[in-house]
Amino acid sequence: MGLLSLGTPLDWYESRKHNEHVRDNGISQLINIFAQHQNRDNDKFYWGDEVEYMLVELDDNKKTVKLNIDYDHIIDDLNNSALEVGQKAVQNNVAFHPEYGRYMVEATPLAPFDGNILGHYLEVESNMRMRRFLSQTQLPANIRLLTLTSFPRMGCPGFTSPQAKPIGPASQSLFLPDEIINRHARFPTLTANIRKRRGCKVAINLPMYPDKNTKLLDDSIPDRELFDSDAEYRWASKPGHVYMDSMGFGMGSSCLQMTMQAKNIDEARYLYDALAPVTPLFLALSAAAPIFKGFLVNQDVRWNVISGAVDDRTFVERDLDPFPGYDYFGGLDIDKSVKSHLQKMGGGRGINGDRVFNVYGDTKLATNDGKSVQKIPKSRYASIDNYLVNESEIDKNFNDIYSPINQPVLQKLLKAGFDPIMAKHFAHLFIRDPLVLFSERVDQDNTLENDHFENIQSTNWQTLRFKPPSLYSTADVGDLKNKPGWRVEFRPTEIQLTDFENAAYTSFIILLSKAILRFRPDFYIGISKIDENMDTAHKVDAVTDDKFWYKSFNHWRLDANEFHGYDLSWFDRFINEGNDLEAYKQGYYNEPVHNAELTPDCIKHIPCVNNACKYTMNELINGNDSHPGLLRLIIKLIAIDLVPNTLKHCDSKILALKLERIKHYLMFVSKRASGKVPTIAHFLRSKVLNSPHYHKDSKVSDALNYDLIKLCDGITKLDFENYHDELYEYFGTAVASYVETNREVSFETV
């Protein structure tokens, strides 16, 4: 989570009076940030991950599992350096953060890792294990800290412990009690303000998995007359879909994020761009969410659930007719008389997406503080809208989607000397209103504080986040090198059950980012293609059954020959003395690589548009006869930059063990990409479909949920004694047998 100010959060109708104030001062703060940090250079490639956990309570007698909402105090204890556990956390470089759900914990490394140190790509796993271990010491044995992307029966009757009723005023949800929301006033206010701004509850409809006995009807919607909004489901829910009506369904799910620091702002801009087409690939590769609200659904990931769960756009912004009796303008601050007049007139999209109403002779419709009312195609939680490098460096047709901007913000940034692309990026983020404002924090010193900027920035939840540094007082400026610089955050990945997998995905993305900066590939394709890939990534088994748009292999601006030999076999040659020398003698590194896993179909890259072609996930990650794929970029980077470059083969046992583990991280992602290892979504779906508790009706009952969570817990613990076959199925034979014999990362003891 971004900032968590203390104080009194303002209700929407009070808060909205300050919208322009927050935006205007936020932009002044941004301008000051750029002035202070624009020219910093040669920052280290630091990186860190974020893991989100759920507290799941198991009752082995009753055979039930619930989300526990009574242990949220452990975060304070874990971060309390006066307590032994808090000291241990600091000593072990671990920090804990609050999250949206009262049953949630987020944990990160306290200080970031260094991308130039090979051992840090392994330390992250022991760090993750320590986070789990320390948290678990604060919990009774039957409450397990699990990394589930979505809790399968979230929103079903009695899914919390202790029990709570879904009658809360913040969310007004028919399914989720307000007691699941973090106690800090920011979170219920955020929930309520999204609803108030939007003018109705959020609505998420997921297609049900169509099975033989599926009724294609969400029969869990109660007939209730507590809030006016109780009737909304009649217009908001779709037949054949699972209907969800609250922020918690999305922000109460868990994910894995990685942040890395670039050496300067230009490098950060390029890295952001190069990772953009990678985001949907990792959403699909990490798919882990096939069940929502007790239903098996016909998709594999959480992304569109969160997107809908925080969608604060009004009817007019979404370009939809309002529900009967509802306000077209939601909670926007527009005078009643103007509204009723305008609603009758309709209107169309004007320049920059501003809504134009002819009645005023083409004057723009605006809120009382002068902000244009625009059509907005995407939720605040969505894929990115624009590349960040200067348009002179890329074909501007790649920025090919309609993305509304805040004109006055754009003008202010241009005037302050921002280049048009950077200015547009922030002018797009600043079409949004602040969602939570604390009364004590309305007035800020723009030369010292950046809360108003962060307020808007951190509630634009996109697949990537371009993170500028913070603002520092003149006393601190001399010390900027030691303060976080220009960073890029990679945000699509679903959380995985085991620390091994989360470390594997984290290492893959960090190493890929480093390889991108080293080899400078050209990955640009139209943003619209990336958006299409985001939709594809939601599909059931997208990894094996679908293709993804990517820059044509012929246009990566890399010489494929230079990557020959840097497949997974490089590790074996490097690690095992003899193999390496033999390979060199045979000139292996100049030989083309043959990938036996390719199907003939993969070679036909049809269709291709503007140098973007459709590829299988296997081709994209593992490459093919004529192309490195993403994996070989990483392995070459390790070979030339991360192991001592004087070595032709590994001469140290410890280095060999480290490389062996990294090889298995990469192998694991590689096998998920080739379909040799199932995604978690595929694995869980097949467990549901084959369970004796399943009745081919798409429903996941309490009994079935208990079995699933028990299994997830066994997998999390790497309990090979009791879940041997399941773990081999889950990891695939090669990785499972490695993990079974190497459960801990403990090289120091070798």
46 part of the interface to ligand ADP, by CB under 6 A: yes
Query: Whole-angstrom Cα distance, residue 724 to residue 627?
Result: 37
**Shortest Å, Cβ 54 to Mg ion:** 12
Radius of gyration of the chain (CA): 26
**Shortest Å, Cβ 344 to Mg ion:** 44
**Shortest Å, Cβ 146 to Mg ion:** 16
Assess contact for 237 and 218: CB atoms under 8 A: yes
Sign, CA dihedral 492-498-504-506, equals positive
- Residue the block writes with tokens 């927050």: 22
* Helix/strand/coil percent split, the chain, to 5: 45, 15, 45
Q: 277: closest CA among 51, 521, 50?
A: 521
108 part of the interface to ligand ADP, by CB under 6 A: yes
Query: Whole-angstrom Cα distance, residue 688 to residue 300?
Result: 14
Of 97 and 555, nearer to Mg ion (C-beta) is 97
Q: 701: closest CA among 293, 346, 130?
A: 293
Query: Whole-angstrom Cα distance, residue 304 to residue 197?
Result: 20
**Shortest Å, Cβ 94 to ligand ADP:** 10
Instruction: Tell me which of 16, 18, 37, 47 binds ligand ADP, using CB under 6 A.
Output: 47
Of 173 and 261, nearer to ligand ADP (C-beta) is 261
Q: At 206, which helix (H) or strand (E)?
A: strand 204-207
260 part of the interface to ligand ADP, by CB under 6 A: yes
Of 424 and 491, nearer to ligand ADP (C-beta) is 491
**Shortest Å, Cβ 416 to ligand ADP:** 25
**Shortest Å, Cβ 116 to ligand ADP:** 13
**Shortest Å, Cβ 255 to Mg ion:** 7
Query: What is the per-residue burial (b if ≥16 Cβ within 10 Å, else e) of 17-27?
Result: ebbbbbbbbbb
- Go through the chain and tell me how many residues it has: 750
Query: What is the per-residue burial (b if ≥16 Cβ within 10 Å, else e) of 78-108?
Result: bbeeeeebbebbeebbbbbbbbbbbbbbbbb
Of 48 and 404, nearer to Mg ion (C-beta) is 48
Q: Which does 115 bind (CB under 5 to 8 A by kind): ligand ADP, Mg ion, none?
A: none
The residues near 188 (Cβ < 8 Å, ≥ 6 apart) are 168, 170, 178, 181
CA atoms within 13 Å, Cβ hemisphere of 347: 30
**Shortest Å, Cβ 87 to ligand ADP:** 19
Assess contact for 598 and 618: CB atoms under 8 A: yes
Query: Whole-angstrom Cα distance, residue 525 to residue 398?
Result: 6
Assess contact for 576 and 646: CB atoms under 8 A: no
Q: Which does 47 bind (CB under 5 to 8 A by kind): Mg ion, ligand ADP, none?
A: ligand ADP
Q: 486: closest CA among 37, 117, 170, 173?
A: 37
Assess contact for 540 and 299: CB atoms under 8 A: yes
**Shortest Å, Cβ 538 to Mg ion:** 21
Of 50 and 567, nearer to Mg ion (C-beta) is 50
Of 240 and 484, nearer to ligand ADP (C-beta) is 484
Q: At 51, which helix (H) or strand (E)?
A: strand 46-59
Query: Whole-angstrom Cα distance, residue 173 to residue 243?
Result: 11
The mark string for 76-105 relative to ligand ADP (x by CB under 6 A, - otherwise) is ---------------------x--------
Tokens coding 204: 């998420």
**Shortest Å, Cβ 21 to ligand ADP:** 23
* DSSP notation for 236-247: H--TTEEEE-ST
Q: Residue 73 burial by CB count (10 A; 0-12/13-18/19+): exposed, middle or buried?
A: exposed
Stretch that binds ligand ADP, among 48-56, 297-305, 366-374, 512-520 (CB under 6 A): 48-56
Of 153 and 467, nearer to ligand ADP (C-beta) is 467
How many chain residues bind ligand ADP (CB under 6 A)? 18
Tokens coding 551: 């820059």
Of 451 and 580, nearer to ligand ADP (C-beta) is 451
Instruction: Tell me which of 9, 26, 101, 109 binds ligand ADP, using CB under 6 A.
Output: 109
624 part of the interface to ligand ADP, by CB under 6 A: no
Q: Which residue is nearest to ligand ADP (CB)?
A: 48
**Shortest Å, Cβ 715 to ligand ADP:** 24
Q: Which does 218 bind (CB under 5 to 8 A by kind): ligand ADP, Mg ion, none?
A: none
Stretch that binds Mg ion, among 55-63, 99-107, 449-457, 700-708 (CB under 5 A): 99-107
Stretch that binds Mg ion, among 15-23, 100-108, 123-131, 734-742 (CB under 5 A): 100-108
Instruction: Tell me which of 9, 12, 19, 50 binds ligand ADP, using CB under 6 A.
Output: 50
Q: First CA to last CA across the chain, in angstroms?
A: 38
**Shortest Å, Cβ 489 to ligand ADP:** 6
Instruction: Tell me which of 149, 150, 182, 257 binds Mg ion, using CB under 5 A.
Output: 257
Of 114 and 572, nearer to ligand ADP (C-beta) is 114
Q: Which SS3 state, helix, strand or coil, does residue 132 take?
A: helix
722 alpha carbon, distance to own chain's centre: 32
- Residue the block writes with tokens 């203390």: 6
CA atoms within 13 Å, Cβ hemisphere of 27: 30
49 part of the interface to ligand ADP, by CB under 6 A: yes
Q: Which does 112 bind (CB under 5 to 8 A by kind): Mg ion, ligand ADP, none?
A: ligand ADP
Q: Which does 287 bind (CB under 5 to 8 A by kind): ligand ADP, Mg ion, none?
A: none
Of 48 and 280, nearer to ligand ADP (C-beta) is 48
Q: Which SS3 state, helix, strand or coil, does residue 23 take?
A: helix
Of 108 and 716, nearer to ligand ADP (C-beta) is 108
Stretch that binds ligand ADP, among 43-51, 230-238, 300-308, 427-435 (CB under 6 A): 43-51
**Shortest Å, Cβ 106 to Mg ion:** 5
The residues near 695 (Cβ < 8 Å, ≥ 6 apart) are 213
Stretch that binds Mg ion, among 257-265, 423-431, 443-451, 507-515 (CB under 5 A): 257-265
Instruction: Tell me which of 30, 43, 49, 50 binds Mg ion, using CB under 5 A.
Output: 50
429 part of the interface to ligand ADP, by CB under 6 A: no
Peptide bond preceding 188: is omega within 30 degrees of 0, i.e. cis?
Answer: no
**Shortest Å, Cβ 256 to ligand ADP:** 11
Query: What is the per-residue burial (b if ≥16 Cβ within 10 Å, else e) of 221-244?
Result: beeeeebebbebbeebbeeebbbb
469 alpha carbon, distance to own chain's centre: 21
Q: Per CB under 6 A, which of residues 469..508 are in contact with ligand ADP?
A: 484, 487, 489
Assess contact for 247 and 309: CB atoms under 8 A: yes
Of 178 and 454, nearer to ligand ADP (C-beta) is 454
Tokens coding 468: 């500028």
Instruction: Tell me which of 149, 214, 259, 298 binds ligand ADP, using CB under 6 A.
Output: 259
Instruction: Tell me which of 9, 26, 48, 331 binds ligand ADP, using CB under 6 A.
Output: 48
433 part of the interface to Mg ion, by CB under 5 A: no
Instruction: Tell me which of 32, 193, 261, 705 binds ligand ADP, using CB under 6 A.
Output: 261
Q: Which stretches of the chain bind ligand ADP, using CB under 6 A?
A: 1-2, 46-50, 97, 108-109, 112, 257, 259-261, 484, 487, 489
Q: Which stretches of the chain bind Mg ion, using CB under 5 A?
A: 50, 106, 257
